[in-house]
Each structure stands twice: as C-alpha cells, then as structure tokens.
Chains A and B, each alone.
Chain A
Amino acid sequence: MPKIKLPTKVPFIDMTPMVDLFSLLLVFFILTATFRQQEPAPVDTPYSISEKPTPDFNNMTIVFSNDNRIFFNVDNGPDTLLKFRNKILAEMGKAYNIEFTEGELRAFEKLNNSIGVPIENMKAFLNTEDKAEKEKLQTGIPIDSLNNQLANWVLYTRQVNPNVVASIKGDSKTEFPLVRKVLDILQDKNVNRFNLVTNLKAVKVEEEKTQQ
C-alpha cells in the first residue's frame, strides 16, 4: 500500500473573507454613526418611562448643568443649507451691536455643541482655538431681567425658524427655581410646549398587586 503523502506546507490562513466581513461591518458603523454629542458641562438627565425619541431637527435645547449654568443649542434645521445657526447669531449680533464676520458665523455654524457664552464674549470664543480658553468663556447665558440674553436667543431662533420646538435638558440636581425662571422666560415668548430630555427607564405598575 502506498503511503499517503501529506503535503508539507506552511499553514496559511486565508484572511480575505475576514477582511470582507470586517469591511462590511466598518461600512455599516460609519454610515450609522451619529456621534455622541459632547456637552460642555456634565449633565445627568433624569429618568422617565417616555419612549419618544428626540427630534432630529427643528430643536432648540436649553441645557442646565449641575452647577446651575445655562447653555443654549439650536440645530441648523432640516437642511444644513438653510444655515439657521448663522442667521440666528447674526440677528443676535445686530441686537447687541456686535458685527460678526463671515468666518465667525461659519465657525458658529460648525460648532455642534451647546454654548454658554454671553454674547459679549462670543467673538473671543469663536476666534480662540484653545480648549481651556473656550472652557473659561463658558460662563452660562445670562438670564437676569436686565440682561436677558436667553430670551433673545429664543426670540430670534423662533423668528428665523418658526417650526422650532423647545427642549429642556437638565441635570437632576439643578435647583428648581432656576428651571422655573427659564420656563417663565419661554412662556413670556409664548412657548408653552416643552420637551424634557430624559433617559429611558421602564416601570410597570400591576394593578392587581396594588389592590388592598
């Protein structure tokens, strides 16, 4: 009987199908990636049972950080060509006699984070590249009755984009009177419908169990 000769070859694992698979996965993840928004301050949102997702556009968000600063964010509308953020900042500048250059407006448009910069410091904020410097300028938007910049942000946002919906994203530890004050400001501007941003936590109440 002849012996079966085994080929003495270096084992070589073919990686091609693996590469194929990984490419597919990679493409999937790149296409579906919606990057987590980085808030300038830590915000720990409260929990609720609501399952409604946040809208993708036409959304203005007022953020309360746990050190009681107020931030404001608005998106560019259903189409980035609409450049709502540019227009809103230009309007704000007009109201406070600040002329923003084309470059500054573009920098503001690109900025996807909430801003907590008083309008006087906005120019400096948009022109600096230094992160620590930027952080220092984020002192929160003033809401005093004498210098109520938040009210103007809301006003001009609604003038530029009438379909905008107000969202409130607050840290659970925010003092309530501050939230109440902001709600008052919004109601003064005839915004009566709010979306409160929360995390999902399922709770089920069984009626039978609670019967006494």
Chain B
Amino acid sequence: MADVGGSEAPKKGGKKTIKRKVVRIDMTPMVDLMCLLITFFMLTTAFSKPKIMEIVLPEKIKKDKDKVEPPKIAKSRTLNIILGPENKVLYYTGMVEDPKNPPPLQVTDFSATGIRMILLEKNRALFRKIDQFRNDVIAGKINIKQDSVESAIRKLKSDDDTGPIVLIKAYKTANYGNFVDILDEMSIIGIARYTFVDISWIEEQMVEKTLGITPEPAAKK
C-alpha cells in the first residue's frame, strides 16, 4: 500500500501524541497514463517483419566479350510461361521453330486451378518426392535437423531430371505483382529449374494474336 507512516501507538510519559495522517498516493492517473503508452507502443510496433523471396537471375552475357554461348536446354522439358495483361498467364511447351507457324498458346490465370494445376501436372514426380520427404520428417521417420530440411529439399531439387524447365517471360503490360505471383507459384509447386528471360518478338506477336483476335484457346491449330 502506498501508505506513509501510520498511526503510532500513544507513548507513555505524558508526551503529546502526534497523530500522523495516512498518506495514500492515488495511482489511478498513473495507470491511465501507462495504459495510453502501452497502447501507443503496441500499435506502432511492427511485429511481423516483411518477408523476402530470393531470386537469382542468370548473369548477363556481355556481347563480344568472351563469346560465351547461352546454356542449351532440352526442348521437350521446356515450358514457356508468358505473363500477359490483366493477370492472364499464357504458356506453351517446347520452342518456336518456325516463326510463321508458332506453337499454340494456352491461356490460364493465377487461380488454384489455373497455372498451378499445369505446373503440378508437369512436376508431379518431384512434388511427390518433396511432399513425402516433408511428411517423413514430421512423422519422425527421417531423423534430420530442422535447419537442414531446406538444404535437403534443395538437394532433391537439384537431383531432379524429369521436371520441367520453366522459362518465365513478361509481356509489355504485365505488372510486378504477376511476376512475384509466378515466382511464388514456382516455390509452391517446388519447380527445380526456372528462370526469367526476355520475351522475343515472336512471342509478343503470339500473345497479341492469341488475346487480340479471338481470346481464350482459339489459337489452337
């Protein structure tokens, strides 16, 4: 209690007893003030820090420098994804061999049944492996340290030789959100090999043709 002093017992000897007043400090305003301060700090504190997503872009090949050829990849495993306008995603497999007769572009979107389904279909073997591994770790079948789970999954990914090689391209009117979304999609599905490359003029024309003349899958031949 915030009492100060207190009533003393009367002393013998005829002396005057000094009756002390009990001093009580009222704490209520202090509590009010502290409540306010706590509220202020709680509201201004950023508890959840923003997260980051790492991306490594292929090094630029400087022209005429040391004549480095861009790495060659298997045509059959290549999946080209083009970020289109209005959150549309276009994709085709393989490569454009004849500019006059380009492969058909399929149109889809960022929903759970859109591009994710297509990627999952292509990457099922690896996805199952990673999923199995995660479940085993949770169930305790594999004894592994928590910190090395990520690197073990990375190892699984780098050993993979069946999944697609995804080339991400962006049409002129795509926005930054789409770019992050598609990279996010890659990590959700666990695609081992993907990179971002510049769009070629043939592909730009393909997008315009697909979306411009007859939208939706009319570009099929």
Report if A and B associate in a common complex: yes
Task: List A residues at the B interface (Cβ < 8 Å).
Answer: 12, 14-16, 18-19, 22-23, 25-26, 29-30, 32-37, 45-55, 64, 167, 169-177, 179-180, 183, 187-188, 192-200, 203, 205, 207, 210
Instruction: Give the contact stretch, choosing among B12-20, B37-45, B209-217.
Output: B37-45
How many chain B residues sit at the interface, stated as a range, is 35 or more
Are B188 and A203 in contact, CB atoms less than 8 angstroms apart?
yes
- The reply on B201 being an interface residue by CB < 8 A is no
Closest 4 CB pairs of A and B: A172-B177, A15-B27, A29-B41, A22-B34
CB-CB under 8 A from A180, the residues of chain B are: 170
**Given A183-B57, A205-B189: A36 touches B183 (CB 8 Å cut-off):** no
Residues of A within 8 A of B153 (CB): none
B98 on interface, CB distance cutoff 8 Å:
no
Q: Are B180 and A18 neighbours in the complex by a CB distance under 8 Å?
A: no
Stretch from B48-56, B63-71, B72-80, B140-148 at the A interface: B48-56
Decide yes or no whether B28 CB sits under 8 A from chain A: yes
Known: A19-B30, A19-B34, A48-B184. A187 touches B57 (CB 8 A): yes
Residues from chain A with a CB closer than 8 A to the CB of B60 are 187-188
Q: In the complex, which of the residues A16, A199, A207, A210 contacts B51, with contact meaning CB atoms closer than 8 Å? A: A199
> Is there contact, CB below 8 Å, between B38 and A25?
yes
If A193-B56, A210-B117 touch, does A174 touch B170 (CB 8 Å cutoff)? no
> Could you say which residues of chain A place their CB within 8 Å of the CB of B27?
14-16, 18-19
Q: Give the contacting residue for A15; candidates B30, B42, B46, B57; CB below 8 A.
A: B30
A40 to B37, CA, bound (A): 26
